[in-house]
Amino acid sequence: MNTNIIIRAEGEKAVVYASDYLNKLSGETIERECRRQLDMGCKMLVVNFAETEIVNSIGISILLGVIDAAQNAGAKVIFSDVKAETIELFEMLGLTNHVMLN
């Protein structure tokens, strides 16, 4: 399992690449990096799920925290390259009501 999180910041946009398993450890790293980007003035957070195979319940909870922090900062959140099974999970839990899918 890869817990290294890659972030690419481009002006007011930051792309965060989630690992293969979004759990407590990788989720906390994503949340910390997203909050850091928001603190630096980021207005668009893109979370790329291209490598993500599994998202557990703690990962979902952490993503909700990222969405809340972004909304409080006036930033948009986009989930990109999400696998079909994960989209179904996000829809079922209501995350897609608060983010754009790309």
* pTM exceeding the 0.85 threshold for the entire prediction: yes
pLDDT in tens, 20-54: 999 999 999 999 999 999 999 999 999 999 999 99
Which of 84, 21, 15 lies closest to 4 in space, CA to CA? 21
User: Residue 5 has what pLDDT?
Assistant: 76
Q: Give Cα separations from 9 to 13, 21, 31, 56, 58 (angstroms).
A: 6, 22, 15, 26, 26
User: What domains are there in the chain, each with its CATH number?
Assistant: 6-101 (3.30.750.24)
Across the chain, mean pLDDT equals 93
User: Residue 24 has what pLDDT?
Assistant: 95
How far is 69 from 82, CA to CA, in rounded Å? 21
User: Residue 2 has what pLDDT?
Assistant: 46
- pLDDT class for 7, splitting at 50, 70, 90? confident
With a cut of 80, say whether residue 3 has pLDDT above it.
no
